[in-house]
């Protein structure tokens, strides 16, 4: 039996802005969704077509999360059957240079790992579309 855990009397530190941005981009598909919305608004089915490996359940969850965080906006369309399209907010657009810069560094890492396989991680994932569309 160990000693009981005591509660800290110190207030938590203020939120780190860098950690907040990383938290926004967490998840396997978040950056891809933002990237695919970078040119124009897209409907749910169009996003599924753009990213064929994402499940409808995950895409729906990510879209709701991004909308709740103020990065995308959902516009209901007056169509039959009902439909909606998603677009980036100005705050969401501010993430595009960040994603692009991260993709550039990722490309350099992959290139370096191919030159020196001993430095490479166990598995190098396929390059996402947003990293290739430069």
CATH topology of domain 17-132: Arc Repressor Mutant, subunit A (1.10.10)
Kindly report, residue by residue over 49-82, the tens digit of the pLDDT: 999 999 999 999 999 999 999 999 999 999 888 8
Ordered by start, the domain boundaries in the chain are: 17-132
Residue 91: pLDDT over 90: yes
Amino acid 36: pLDDT: 96
Q: Where are the alpha helices (DSSP H) in the chain?
A: 17-24, 30-36, 44-50, 56-68, 90-93, 96-115, 129-132
Kindly report, residue by residue over 93-115, the tens digit of the pLDDT: 999 999 999 889 999 999 988 88
pTM for this prediction:
0.74
**With pLDDT > 90 as the criterion, what percentage of the chain qualifies?**
55
Is 42 in a helix, a strand, or coil? strand
Rounded mean pLDDT, 17-26: 82
Residue 134: pLDDT over 50: no
Amino acid 40: pLDDT: 94
- Residue 34 corresponds to which tokens in the numbers above? 């933002």
Amino acid 23: pLDDT: 82
């Amino acid at each position: 039996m160990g000693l009981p855990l005591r509660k800290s009397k110190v207030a938590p530190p203020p939120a780190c802005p860098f950690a907040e941005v990383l938290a926004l981009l967490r998840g396997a598909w978040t950056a891809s969704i933002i990237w695919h919305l970078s040119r124009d608004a897209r409907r749910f089915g169009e996003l599924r077509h753009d990213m064929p490996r994402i499940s409808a359940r995950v895409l729906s969850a990510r879209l709701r999360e991004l909308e709740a965080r103020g990065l995308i906006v959902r516009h209901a369309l007056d169509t039959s059957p009902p439909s909606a399209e998603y677009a980036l907010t100005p705050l969401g657009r501010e993430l595009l240079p960040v994603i692009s810069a991260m993709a550039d560094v990722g490309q350099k890492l992959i290139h370096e790992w191919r030159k020196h396989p001993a430095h490479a991680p166990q598995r190098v994932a396929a390059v996402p579309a947003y990293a290739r569309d430069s």
